[in-house]
Amino acid sequence: MSDKPWDGRFSERTDTSVEEFTSSIDVDKRLYPYDIEGSVAHCRMLAKVGVLTDEEATALSEGLWRIKRELDQGNFIFDDSLEDIHMHIEARLLQEVGKVAQKLHTARSRNDQVALDVRMFLRDVTRQVIVQLQDLRREFIQLAEQHVDTIMPGYTHLQRAQPVLLAHHWMAYYEMFSRDSERFIDSLKRTNVMPLGAAALAGTTYPIDRKYTAELLGFPVVTANSMDTVADRDFILEFLSAASICMVHFSRMSEELVLWSSSEFRFIELADAFSTGSSIMPQKKNPDIPELIRGKTGRVFGDLFALLTLMKGLPLTYNRDMQEDKASLFDAVDTLQSCLDITVKMLPTIKVNIDVLRNAASTGFLNATDMADYLVAQGVAFRSAHAIVGQAVAYALANGKELHELSIKELKNFAKQIEEDIFDHLTLEHMIARRQSAGGTSTDNVRAAIETARKQLDLESRSDQNQQGSHEAAKS
């Protein structure tokens, strides 16, 4: 009656409802390329240390590659009774190469095997995300370059505050997504650690060579403690945290794009190809892409919280609960990568209404701070200058004017130090040009920031290519 690799001690057949309930094949089948690559490396290592003969290892490896082709082509038949991708491949290997297949699992457990598969998967994904973030950051640089002369209102409390360059605003997103990239790069260090050889939890009695397996699979190091190895999902939590923070940035960007494309703002227009219509209101053009990105942010937070909650009460070491980690991880990966893809395509199609931005920056007393700064330069203490300008703003408001529309006579009523040159100080260009403090919005600063960012990206993509080269060399 034995049809499962683990049912030697069982006297009853597993109930089919149990098979359905415990099966994870629908979710974890996408790990198959890693499962096969990992198994082939495991075979080669077992042959190297003499646990398998070379002929056995070759027969197993060839069988595994044939199964990979079957899976690649979609000809593989899945079955709930085989639980997960690891057991599916092992069962198929038995049909493919016969009895020798039963030796594959020597010195290994599904507990370290699944840890290996997920680490390999996440290592690939993290590298892809880092490259996708480079593409995204490049788009922000591009947008910034197009708008080094575009002046817009900067906001606090969603109230117009001070003029800034639109380029400065785009570069703010460049910074956010650069930090995201750093977080992914950092998490990769802890993902890229080889777990195989921990076996079930305690290590194994076979004379295995874990470093050799690591070398074959391109891991720089092996995990240190077998119990931690099969119990640890921190590396997934780190990815999900980095993904959640990245989605916060996406969501804030999306919120701005939604606001800016409304008739109330009219700062930008999204391309027709990247908008959708309404089934009832013929006039509508809706910013569904940013809205959906904002919405999908909640999914990724949910995935992070699902795994945090899943892990928090688990005693060491492996518990079956942990099988649930993959649904959250895959959902977050797919969501994040689709948001990265669509944003890279959407950003260059945004049409900016430069005049609307400029007009918006010209009204609403955005030069009030600069008028105070002018008075400070004439020897007035900042707090008094603040109060004086406050009164001038109240007066201008009551008269339906902006500060720069008041006459010199009117202005002098508030402070005798004010001279004709105040009007220069209150122009948009002047206000921008004078904000030269490091990180400020002056055109020179912003140009320099763009230049630095370009160099940084070039450096990153060059070092990616180098790494690619050395990995290819290591493989062959």
Question: Under the rule (CB under 6 A), what is the footprint of ligand ARG?
Answer: 24, 28, 84, 110-111, 114, 318, 320, 322-323
Q: Which is nearer to ligand ARG, 37 or 90 (CB)?
A: 90
CA distance 246 to 340: 10
Q: For residue 203, what are the CA distances in angstroms to 57, 199, 322?
A: 22, 5, 20
CA distance 175 to 432: 20
The residue among 468, 393, 375, 457 whose CA lies nearest residue 136 is: 457
Q: What are phi and psi of 375, to 5 degrees?
A: -65, -40
* CA quadruple 239, 245, 250, 254: dihedral, nearest 10: 140
CA distance 117 to 86: 9
Q: How far is the CB of 34 from ligand ARG (least distance, A)?
A: 13
Q: How far is the CB of 181 from ligand ARG (least distance, A)?
A: 29
Residues with catalytic function: 157, 278
Q: Supply 218's token pair.
A: 């391109």
Q: How far is the CB of 197 from ligand ARG (least distance, A)?
A: 16
Under 8 Å between Cβ of 376 and 417: no
Q: Which is nearer to ligand ARG, 320 or 475 (CB)?
A: 320
Q: Which is nearer to ligand ARG, 110 or 249 (CB)?
A: 110
Host H or E run for residue 46: helix 32-48
Q: Supply 42's token pair.
A: 């495991």
The residue among 167, 172, 177 whose CA lies nearest residue 131 is: 177
Helices marked H in 49-109: 54-72, 85-97
CA distance 19 to 24: 10
Q: Which is nearer to ligand ARG, 44 or 233 (CB)?
A: 233
Q: How far is the CB of 8 from ligand ARG (least distance, A)?
A: 15
Q: Supply 137's token pair.
A: 């950051």
Q: How far is the CB of 110 from ligand ARG (least distance, A)?
A: 4
Host H or E run for residue 1: none
Q: Which is nearer to ligand ARG, 107 or 246 (CB)?
A: 107
Q: Which is nearer to ligand ARG, 130 or 200 (CB)?
A: 200
Q: Supply 135's token pair.
A: 């593409």
